[in-house]
Chains A and B, each alone.
Chain A
Amino acid sequence: MAADGDRKPAKKLNLKENYALLTRGLGWEPSYQKKEDIFRTVDFEGVKIHDWDKWEDPFRLTMDAYWKYQGEKERKLYAIIDAFQQNNGQFNVTDVRYVQALKVFLNGIVGLEYASHRGFNILGRELPGVGPRIAAQMQAIDELRHATTQIHAISHYNRYFEGMAEFPHQFDRVWYLSIPKSFFEDAVASGPFEFIVAISFAFEYVLTNLAFMPWMSGAAFNGDMSTVSFGFSAQSDEARHMTLGIEVIKFLLEQDPANVPLVQKWIDKWFWRGYRLLALLATMMDYMLPKRVMSWSEAWTIYYEENGGALFSDLARYGIKPPKYADVTVKEKHRVSHEMWSVFYTVRDALGFPIWLPSKEEMDWFSEKYPETFDRYYRPRFEYWRELEDKGTPFRSSTLPKLCQVCQWPCLYTEPDDASEFVHRQGEYQGEIFHFCSDGCSDIFHDEPEKYVHAWMPVHQIYQGNCFKEGVDPSAADFNPMAAALDYMGIKPGVDGGSMRDHVDAQRWESWTARPANMHEGAITDAVRKTT
């Protein structure tokens, strides 16, 4: 020791140097295979990358540390879910309408987490740079974890309520669930750079806050601590995913000027695709949460117009413009949730969850939050529908809706400058006519028609006879095509959809909790009346 007494201690490594040494040599140059044979899709889209080392790894997370973090998150989350279950937490939520929102989550959104897991696995294989490849691999595992924990957090409700038991089956078959499913399949079927711009930037970065709003704050407001805990456990992963989105966009734009128009095209496309997907959340925020957090219009103002505005003013320095049709989203923010709930109401017999008309208290809230549109366009409609319900002749639509070839929503949206006129756009490709809900979706189709003509359109498939179970005989005398199609989707007529007033969830809720199924409307069964 004495001999070393004069030696200066080595300079302590900082976090960046430490990480560089920990991970050096983990990415290697191939020696007996050509790089282009290993990374087969990296040149497919025309993106030019000159120096993968310019990628700044924003996380500096080793796999060892990653497992440790995620392990502890899981432990804590499941402790809370256990406590929630032991305390019958499912009965402490505001009312049974909140449970319907959870059904939409489980049936429509959990499948997206799994699709995202697949997409990031592909990126983890296809990106030649070590930094983004590791980030994609970690995100692939995150997404799988999110899907699993969401299923666990929500599945407890499945023991008490209808409509959640068949969620993977329904994700593949139910007509309106083709909307989220086709969104992610479009992304996964793109090249690697389009996928990462679509999901990491346009969706995770630009739009994800809007998904957290109704879900995590909404769950907290409505007493669902199980879903809130899932939200906390996911949010620390989301911060990593959002940072990845920002790094990706900077990296692509700085690498080569030829990348700028490609990135712009993908931002335009995926902003619009993501926005259309979020219309589902708009409806849930405004109509399905018994206690509301804020209106969709307010959320869009804060999270897109203000935060997105700051982002796109910075991106302007790279020559990137705000997404095409962003102005349309601002016009639609006063309408979209009302238009969609109206369509859900009219097709309620073909849904996996029951529907209700907004109460007087809720309509007054809408009048306040939507002063330009609600009283003029939607209040009279809802009041008329309630009148018909009271007369015993409720309005319902008996035909299937026309779907948009790109987003797969029913063509339910109205003209950007005229809320009384439905948007009808159509285009022709190889002699066939295709319909669109908007100019945004029409543009996307016409940029890649050969991709979207392959879309699996549920309504078309039903009419073509492709949505009946094996052994069903359409020529039988008592054949009911609607019932047969619903049976194929896993929707039980008289159990799953319909009106909340008649729904089995509502009746059970009142008999188990002695509280009204709809806190704004009063009890519908004697179970509550007796005790209050």
Chain B
Amino acid sequence: MSYQLTIEPLGQTLEIEDEQTILDAALRAGIWLPHACCHGLCATCKVQVREGEVDHGEASPFALMDFEREEGKTLACCARPQSDVVIEADIDEEPDAEVIPVRDFEGTVTRVESLTPTIKAVFIRLDEPMHFQAGQYVNLSIPVPGGTITRAFSLANPPSSGNEVELNIRIVPGGAGTGWIHESLGAGQRLSVAGPYGRFFVRKSARQPMLFMAGGSGLSSPRSMIVDLLEGNSQQPITLVYGQRSRNELYYHEQFLELAGRYPNFRYVPALSHEPEGSDWEGYRGFVHEAARACFDGDFRGHKAYLCGPPLMIDACITALMQGRLYERDIYNEKFISAADAQQAKSPLFRNI
């Protein structure tokens, strides 16, 4: 059976199985809790149980003291719930994070547009509006022949667009879900989505210049975040470095040119990595991290950076940012940590990136 686990100070609630450890449930939900040995000896994952009952499992008597058990402490790596549980963990509070309960929404597809040869924009009018933070994602239920499968997609529209949500979906060769969307989905189809999910959002209260780095089909969240910021009259300098292989894949290029013309604090830097020699492209040729390095002269200090794109691009961007002296506390990307990640050889140098 399953219980509800609430993690303070985030205020986030998630499902946990009675045989699952608190650490495992949190990591699978994308919430990083401090941990190290993962078998009850080092006490790095000690948390306070505020409400409910847990079984301390294999926690060592030298790592979880008797007086701590009496005070309601437990080791997240060994503790299993015996009721609904509220814990408080030693994680930083995010003043900009909103706690929005996940709900199911029904809606009707209004139109499907081709953005590039491999990416389609699907517009869905929901029966009731969804409140979310720019950067979050939804799980879309896809009615493929033989059943329903769910796939996660970032919301490409800003939160202000009312009932209509936009998802940009790249076809995955041989993929059942994206294949059906590209080949069979049309206006009038009823669909259901669950959301909003994820902890990728703009740290507005930091009041620092922002750098967005996007590539591949990772433009959705940065686009939603940037439009939301500009609509909200953000006065901070905002830069988008946006990379694709070639000009015909550079979707929403015109919209960003238009925004850059309208908002003096928004700078748009498109970069193409494989554009044919001799084409009329006058922008940057190269990868996103190279374009960013050129445009900031290799010095990223004082920024907040938000990254979205394929893993190799993310990795190259983090390296470029750190070489430009911007470190983990100012770098954000949407990352899923699974329990399997916690098992493999991984250094504890970085927590979130």
A: residues with CB less than 8 A from B are 14-16, 60, 68-69, 72-73, 76-77, 229, 232-233, 235-236, 238-239, 242-243, 246, 249-250, 254, 257, 306-307, 309-311, 313-319
What's the Cα separation between A243 and B88 when bound, in Å? 21
Residue ID in chain A nearest B44 by CB atoms = A239
Contact B9 A254 (CB under 8 A): no
Contacts of A69 on B, CB cut-off 8 Å? 65
Cβ 8 A contact of B61, one of A76, A235, A257, A314: A76
Contact A311 B88 (CB under 8 A): no
Residue ID in chain A nearest B48 by CB atoms = A15
Residue ID in chain B nearest A307 by CB atoms = B345
Contact A310 B44 (CB under 8 A): no
Contact A257 B325 (CB under 8 A): yes
Cβ 8 A contact of A246, one of B67, B319, B349: B349
What's the Cα separation between A307 and B348 when bound, in Å? 10
What's the Cα separation between A366 and B225 when bound, in Å? 61
Contact B63 A60 (CB under 8 A): no
Contact B323 A235 (CB under 8 A): no
Contacts of A239 on B, CB cut-off 8 Å? 36-37, 41-44
How far in angstroms is the closest Cβ of chain B from A244? 12
- We find that the number of chain B residues with CB closer than 8 angstroms to chain A is 32
Cβ 8 A contact of A235, one of B9, B42, B90, B345: B42
Contacts of B67 on A, CB cut-off 8 Å? 68, 72
Cβ 8 A contact of A317, one of B37, B48, B319: B319
Secondary structure class of chain B's binding surface, majority of residues: loop
Cβ 8 A contact of B66, one of A72, A232, A243, A257: A72
- Please name the 6 residue pairs, one residue from A and one from B, whose CB atoms are nearest each other, closest first: A239-B42, A311-B347, A314-B349, A14-B9, A232-B62, A317-B322
Contacts of B350 on A, CB cut-off 8 Å? 314
Residue from B61, B66, B323, B347 whose CB has the most chain A CB atoms within 10 Å: B347
Residue ID in chain B nearest A305 by CB atoms = B345
B262 within 8 A of A: no
B258 within 8 A of A: no
Within 8 A of A (CB), among B23-46: 36-37, 41-44
Contacts of A238 on B, CB cut-off 8 Å? 42
A232 and B41 in contact, given A15-B88, A317-B318, A317-B322 (Cβ under 8 angstroms): yes
What's the Cα separation between A242 and B35 when bound, in Å? 12
B282 within 8 A of A: no
Residue from A15, A72, A77 whose CB has the most chain B CB atoms within 10 Å: A15
Contacts of A250 on B, CB cut-off 8 Å? 327, 349
Cβ 8 A contact of B62, one of A233, A249, A318: A233
What's the Cα separation between A309 and B350 when bound, in Å? 14
Residue ID in chain B nearest A254 by CB atoms = B327
Within 8 A of A (CB), among B102-159: none
What's the Cα separation between A235 and B349 when bound, in Å? 20
Contacts of A314 on B, CB cut-off 8 Å? 347, 349-350
